Structure 1
Amino acid sequence: MTAPTRIRYATLLLTVSAAASSALSGGVAAQSSQGSGELPAVVVEGAQPKKKVKKKAAPVESPAVVPAPEPTPTAKLPAESGGPNESSPGLNLSDKASSGSRLGLTPLETPASVDVISGETARERGQHSIVDAVTQNAPGFSSATIPVLGSAFSARGFVGNNSISRLYDGTRLYPGTGGTTSFPSNTWAVERIEVLHGPASVLYGDGAIGGIINVIPKKPITEGMFNEAQIFFDSNMTRRASLDSGGALSKDVSYRFNIGADASDGWVDDGDSKNLGVSGALRWQASPDLVFSLSHDYSNQEPIKYFGVPFRDGVFDKRTKENNYNVGNAFNEFQDSWTQFKTEWRASDALSFRSVTYYLDSRREFLNSEDYIWNTGVNPEVVDRFGLHILQDQDQIGNRTDMTLKTRFGSVGNETVVGFDINRANYARSASGYFAAPSVDPINPVPGVLSAPLIPRHQSELDQRSLFVEDRLVLNEYLSLVGGVRWDTSNVKKTDLQSAAGSFEDEFNSFNWRVGAVVTPVRGLAFFGQYAVATDPLDRPLLDYLKTTADFDLTRGRQIEVGVKQTLWNGAFEWSLSGYDIVKKDLTVLTPFFETVQIGQQSSRGLEASVGMELGGGWRVDANGAILKAEYDEFSYVDFSTFSIVDYAGKTPYLVPEKLANVWLTWAFAPRWQASAGAQYVGSAFENFANTVERPAYTIANVGLHWKPTDSATLDFRVKNVFDRTYAAYYRADPLSADDSVIQGWIAPPRTFEAALSVKF
């Protein structure tokens, strides 16, 4: 076993200012080294124009004045903007963010790294999906799955929704088989996205060693009326129509309604897709201190039926660039609905209560040939195809209730949240098994059909109960302490519909905690540090546990993080820098004999930096970067096929890029006109444990032009993948195999032209 490699933090601190530029130049250099038959490493895709919005500097809370709790923020209609208030471009260090703490702290007051991504900023940059909004705005996050299957992320050296939890409006979503989440689907109805870096189990339970992503939907507008409609087209024949409406129906009742529908022909053969999203919310101010809110969201997605192309002996063949190797009867359909009822009551200036009851229903069905192998062992060469048919039905019902008490002891202020979280998730899975589809010609594939009848496989039930406490002690205007504890118990009951011997019931318990401090020597400048302990499920979601893994211990992790944040000149300049060290123990691996064994330890250390600055003359820049070193410290098992010990100690975890960077530049060069350009760099990542299959680094770039012909109308023109490079944003390889010839790459869209017209009324 090898000892973990140590990062020299002092050296990294001196070089972090050059991280983004060196990462970008590294991507260009990587491209020039590619062979003529391989995918180029430099790439292009997405950024957009954005408005110049000034923000107020973060206030420093005095211990002598402890503010009373407030109801959930709702959008209002400022006369000067003609639209609802939203977070602005940049770090938003002064905005309250619920994801880093239940106490309603701003990122500047939180002893952790928290990003607040404005929904409006994401839309102006052309980031139509949650994946694009997160990976192109939050430092250190990258996508870790094929978009067809939903979304999953890599962050701080850890991968998947077991380690990076997904939330919707503060409520955690429990994924089933595959570990991907398909709801919500786009950014049209999003008010903001909050990203908490690092362990978050003390807030949201097991499954958050790498971080959390909390999507906050648009809220009712309590004053005035606001309406916005948009039509959108692009060169892939994508058509989209969207509507956003909100306002006050009476003195005490307000609403918000959003609808968006799109269809596309795609950029590959048989690449059509279509989606529909509808959401609505009502808010009733029953009294000055009591608010009731009811919301419902519905999403129906039929994503593109495209899983990439096979590489020939490990090398991309450009003749397959636009080929689709799926079968002719393929389909994907995701249906999600979410209903939530929220009560907020301010009993006094010092005491408040919140209660959220929710119900989520999700149905996902796939019939695809997803895996392709370029078979060079026969003449003529063919592509062998394999596929399956899966049906997932899942529902989740729960309640989260907490009480906030704010007190003062002399000159010391104190805030405490105490609450509980209970929920039940039911999950049923039917699957066909792994079927071979007819082999096809690599250059001119004939779709054919796949016959894969569904067979009921298993049903699972997850009951989760939690108690949590969080406290903030404001010792003086310079120092505050924030800590929390959470106890979780999860009961999993699984019924194997194929073999009674595979059924089981078991209980998993975890106790997680964190403690941190924030030092504010001057207004707007905060140094922070924290120690956190978190818990992950094993290699699969709790709802998909097997009897063979039921007796394993939950994976445990701990993090040490330190950093600094600052906002200056009324928010015109903001920056943050953080360093972390995470260790995760009791990993699992599925051996070649399909046996899951619990082994090993993984560690990750790195730096993350962000900056947002108004440069004057209409110029603004937003940039972030991350560098990390992740490795398996202890990772070995016996391979009984060869009667040998396989040891991955010292290897980099697969699907983990160790360098990431984003930069956005906007220029308001004339009244009502703004130009923008952006670039996203994603470092190389290994696709197997042995580190023999490597996805090259790539750069995504785009440009945009924003024009307001009238006060109420806006025209956006964008070009994504400006240089029309070909690249694979995701590879598929056997993580246990060292064979670097069996590779499948998901080829990202080519250069794409977009145009959108928005009208506010």
Structure 2
Amino acid sequence: MFRLTSLALLIGSASTCALAQDASLTLPASTISAESEVPAEGTRLDLDKPAEAGSRLNLTPRENPASVAVADRATMERIGARTFQDAANALPGVNASAPPGWGGYVSYRGLNGAQIAQLFNGINLQYGAAARPVGAWIYDRVELLGGPSSFLNGSGAVGGSLNMVTRLADRSEDRVEGRISYGRYDTLETAFGINQALNEGDGPRHYARLDYSRTGSNGYIDRQENNAGNLAFSLLSDFNERLSHTLAIEYLEEQEDSPYWGSPVLRPLSGELHIDRHDRFANYNVEDGRYEQRTRWLRSITEYRFDDATRLRNTFYHYNGQRDYRNLEVYRYTADNSAVLRSGGYRQRHDQEVNGNRLELTRQDQLFGLPSDWAFGLDYNRNQQTNYPLSIGGTFDTVTPGNYQPGHFLDIPGMAAPRRKGRSTWTDTRSAFVENRTRLSERLALVSALRYDHLDFEVRDHVVGTGLERRWDALTGRLGLVYDLSESLSLYSQFSTSAEPPGGTLTSASIAQVRDMDLSSGRQIEAGSKFDFLDGRGSATAAVYRIVRKNISVPSSTLANVTEQAGQQTSTGVELAASFKITPQLLAAGNFAWVRAEYNEFNESVAGVVYSREGKTPVNIPERTANLWLTWDFAPGWQVGADARYVASVYADTANSMWVPSYTLYGLSMSHDLDRHTKVSARLRNLTDQVYARFIHQSNTQYYLGEPRSLEVAVDWRF
């Protein structure tokens, strides 16, 4: 870690301890856009191009008093992102993974789970399992907004918001693009995309885009196979100079056979946790374990421009998702580590539907004679979910590692029972919001936002026939200042607040979790800087922050799917990022994040005994993360690259008595342009074949191991 950090600090020595991020990444508190005459030479950082992330006011990164990071399409291609989670992990401070049962797990700024809002095109499904990482082909970019952002995305975003944005039809040139890649474990991706103008001449103009990708892999864990298909279609219609409409449809199917639920940790369960490396690729799930999901999105986006200063945008959206699990999920070694006890038979179905409409009006005007931009909006959505659970908690069998029959799901006693409803929830959210940016002088701007959310919630337990209705009101906002010291250097500060539903999310909440609980609250103070240096050869950002979260729910250390109440948690941290063109051919980029997260008020009950967790760090929160990339265009049409990622150790329990080791991953890549349309590339991941845990199951104490060393080759083309 010392060598990695030192190298990054030397590369960014022209900035204030700034590490570097990929040139096409938006650095913390800034959006970097990719503009290069020759793509192989890298991208130029631009802090003065308007960015959607972080505001509805069309602000540039330099104008926005917030930490904003974006991994755009050029970034995803440069770092070899296969899923949107790969892209998210390239952003400062993010540690994302996808253990079964958690779907899209993200930790950021000392918070995790439901405290990080995960959105699709700005829409929050309020359910983390909906964010499983699938092929990145249909995505245009991944956006990150740091800190409490309820003012922008609604309740639940105390740590930040991660937004996955899909590709849409555009008015640029017609083009056809595609990709074929093959890697270790028979990992295959085939993808293509078409953007096409449908007509020419006067009158209405129409543009269409179609993207499709198919991914499949035998998996690096025994018997784990995954196949997924992603389809996206959009139609952009310009009816006249003022009125346009976009229809967007996305559909996903995914199936994973015998999902890997983690590797059991050797006993004793204390101190630094380890696994048996000889059993590294073992899968203790049953032979016919399964995860499936089918999702569809529909969006209807209408935009009307009254004049150059006033625009209206209306978005109707519909989502439908169905997810099925049937697995044997819990594995523990016997006291002498000679055998593994398998338990936790679980069958589950989730049916979820979300319908909503968002209306936004933006206006450039004046306030008391000062230039002032406004955004007003209304949002309504209904989020409905029903689950069909069946859980068998007792031990199923005891097996000898390396010599066992996995068995079948119906071998688990009781799992043949008919499917029946367990619990249904309905969440109606009505919101009104306003944002403003007023220039107090040529150098100083005041940026503010206010949002009101009214939540009507109903939960019904179909098993016992009881139900509950609750209502909450939340008022959140932010207030920030941006001061331009020069054209290339700006300083900012902001104060923002958030509100969070009981238990973190309402879609899967039980009656006990919401009966007597109020909304959790959060607040953040943040300050930072964004600047260019060395005549524009480099750009960097720096941010410091402190988040205070009150009246919160914490997952139990010993009981699965159980939460306990805590009084307060704080996160104090620093994020640094930069990109620097050392020479016209050599680019260095990366980021570094440090956070100190701790409980201030939390008394946890374990087996009837109460323990104080004051000063303890939450589970699965790394204190430090860092990324570093070097790319060298050593000859026309040829590029080589090296990268490194560091993640600090994380605790496995709230007592901080168990932890998982830190890890550093290295990678190499090479690409060659066969002609102006075709590129071939090769990428080696996890060069040293590091054995590492991307996630530790808290109540089960199981490693979720990351990918071993693998080689991937690909062909990309564009016409």
Q: Same fold (TM over 0.5)?
A: yes
* Cα 1:275–1:704 shift into 2, 3 Å: same
Per-residue CA shift, 1:296-323, capped at 9, x if unaligned? 0011112361122212214311221121
1:351-750 to 2 correspondences below 5 Å:
351-376=310-335, 381-408=339-366, 412-435=370-393, 436-451=395-410, 452=415, 453=417, 454-501=419-466, 503-550=467-514, 551-568=516-533, 572-589=537-554, 597-639=564-606, 641-642=607-608, 644-734=609-699, 743-750=701-708
Q: Contact 1:385 / 1:439 at 8 angstroms: preserved in 2?
A: no
Deviations 1:53-100 (CA, angstroms, capped at 9, x unpaired): 999xx99xxxxxxxxxxxxx9x9xx997799xxxx8576533322220
* Partner in structure 2 of residue 114 of structure 1: 68
1:397 shift after superposition: 0.5
> Residues of 2 paired with 1:349 and 1:222: CA distance?
19
Distance across 2 between alignment mates of 1:635 and 1:697: 26
Task: Report the AA paired with residue 603 of structure 2.
Answer: S
Deviation at 1:147, TM superposition (A): 5.8
CA distance in 1, matches of 2:223, 2:97: 24
Native 8 Å contact 1:148 1:306 kept in 2: no
**Matched residues, number:** 685
Q: Secondary structure at the match of 1:181?
A: helix
Deviation of residue 24 (structure 1)?
9.2
1:242-267 deviations in whole A, cap 9, x for unaligned?
A: 00110211231111111000211112
Aligned-partner Cα distance in 1 for 2:713–2:52: 34
Distance change in 2, residues 1:427/1:89 (3 Å): farther
Residue pair 1:23, 1:683 contacting (<8 A) in 2 also: no
Deviation by residue 1:266-318 (Cα, 9 ceiling, x = unmatched): 12210211110000111011111111000000111123611222122143112
Contact conserved, 2:602 with 2:612, CA < 8 A, in 1?
A: yes
Shift of 1:183: 5.7
Q: What residue number does 1:334 align with?
A: 293
Given the superposition, is the C-alpha separation of residues 50 and 535 from structure 1 closer, same or farther in structure 2, using an over 3 Å criterion? closer
Matches of 1:50 and 1:164, distance apart in 2? 23
Would the aligned equivalents of 2:85 and 2:97 in 1 still touch at CA under 8 Å? no
Residue 408 of structure 1: how far off its partner (Å): 2.8
Q: Is the 8 A contact 1:23 1:681 kept in 2?
A: no
Q: Residues 142 and 669 of structure 1: is their aligned pair in 2 closer, same or farther, counting only changes over 3 Å?
A: same
Report 1:246-265 matches (<5 A).
246-251=195-200, 252-265=205-218
Match for 1:630: what amino acid?
A
Q: CA deviation at 1:608?
A: 0.3
* 1:276 maps to which of 229, 241, 244: 229
Match 2:118 to one of 153, 156, 166: 166
Cα deviations by residue, 1:624-648 (Å, 9 ceiling, x for unpaired):
0011111101111455x44x43110
Structure 2 counterpart SS, 1:544? coil
Mapped to 1, the partners of 2:519 and 2:300 lie a distance apart of 32
| Pairwise CA distance, 1:433 | 1.4
- For the 8 Å contact 2:502–2:553, the answer to whether it is kept is yes
TM-score of the superposition, structure 2-length normalised?
0.90
CA contact (8 A) 1:19 1:625 kept: no
Structure 1 pair 595/660, CA: closer, same or farther in 2 (3 Å)? closer
Counterpart-to-counterpart distance in 2, 1:95 and 1:653 = 37
Query: Under a length normalisation based on structure 1, what TM-score does the superposition of the two structures give?
Result: 0.85
Shift of the 52–620 alpha-carbon distance from structure 1 to 2, 3 Å rule, reads farther
- What do residues 558-577 of structure 1 show as CA deviations (whole Å, max 9, x unaligned)? 00000000135785311000
Q: Quick one: percent identity of the two aligned structures?
A: 28
Once the two structures are TM-superposed, the CA of residue 145 in structure 1 deviates from its matched residue by 4.7
- Native 8 Å contact 1:257 1:279 kept in 2: yes
Which runs of 5 or more structure 1 residues have no equivalent in the other structure?
1-16, 26-48, 60-72, 735-741
Mapped to 2, the partners of 1:79 and 1:140 lie a distance apart of 27
Alpha-carbon distance in structure 1 between the residues aligned to 2:133 and 2:207: 23
Q: Are 2:429 and 2:456, in contact at CA under 8 Å, matched by a contact in 1?
A: yes
Q: 2:444, 2:435 → 1: CA distance?
A: 17
Q: 1:431 to 1:707 in 2, by over 3 A?
A: same
- 1:190 equivalent in alignment to 2:139: yes
Partner secondary structure for residue 132 of structure 1: helix
Q: Verify the 8 A CA contact 2:191 2:213 in the aligned structure 1.
A: yes
Q: 1:316-338 deviations in whole A, cap 9, x for unaligned?
A: 11221121111011111111110
Q: Determine the structure 1 residue equivalent to 2:82.
A: 128
> How far apart, CA to CA, are the structure 1 residues paired with 2:141 and 2:499?
27
CA distance in 2, matches of 1:733, 1:290: 52
1:412-432, Cα deviation, whole Å (9 max, x unpaired): 200111111100011010011
Describe the shift of the 1:116–1:92 C-alpha distance in structure 2 as closer, same or farther (beyond 3 A): farther
Partner of 1:204: 153
> Hey, what's the Cα distance between the residues in 2 that align with 1:158 and 1:636?
19
* Partner Cα separation in structure 1 for residue 306 and residue 231 of structure 2: 34
Aligned partner of 1:8 in structure 2 is none
3-state SS of 2:131 partner? coil
* C-alpha distance in structure 2 between counterparts of 1:520 and 1:633, whole Å: 37
Q: Is the 8 A contact 2:665 2:690 kept in 1?
A: no
| Alignment-mate amino acid for residue 311 of structure 1 | V
Conserved in 2, the CA contact under 8 Å of 1:255 and 1:281?
A: yes
User: For 2:82 and 2:505, how far apart are their aligned partners in 1?
Assistant: 27
Determine if contact 1:687/1:733 at 8 Å carries over to the other structure.
yes
More contact order relative to length (CA 8 Å, sep ≥ 6): 1
Displacement of 1:232: 0.6
TM-aligned CA deviation for residue 615 of structure 1: 1.3
Alignment-mate amino acid for residue 193 of structure 2: D
The whole-number CA distance in structure 1 between the counterparts of 2:649 and 2:71 is 25
| Alpha-carbon contact 1:529-1:563 (below 8 Å) kept | yes
Q: 1:171 and 1:54 mapped to 2: Cα distance?
A: 21
Match of 1:28 in 2: none
Q: Bigger shift: 149-158 or 698-707?
A: 149-158
Given that 1:237 and 1:264 are in contact with CA atoms closer than 8 Å, whether structure 2 keeps it comes out as yes
Residue 352 and residue 726 in structure 1: after superposition, are their counterparts in 2 closer, same or farther (change >3 A)? Answer: same
- SS of the equivalent of 1:219 reads coil
Cα 1:144–1:711 change in 2 (3 A) is closer
Conserved in 2, the CA contact under 8 Å of 1:557 and 1:582? yes
* Structure-2 change in CA distance of 1:245 and 1:81 (3 Å): farther
**What is the DSSP-based 3-state SS (H/G/I as helix, E as strand, rest coil) of the residue aligned with 2:639?**
strand
Aligned to 1:298: 251
User: Partner of 2:176 in structure 1?
Assistant: 227
Cα-Cα RMSD: 2.9
Letter in 2 for 1:244: G
Q: Is the 8 A contact 2:169 2:236 kept in 1?
A: yes
For the 8 Å contact 2:691–2:708, the answer to whether it is kept is yes
For residues 549 and 52 of structure 1, do their structure 2 counterparts lie closer, same or farther at Cα, with a shift above 3 Å needed? closer
Match of 1:349 in 2: 308
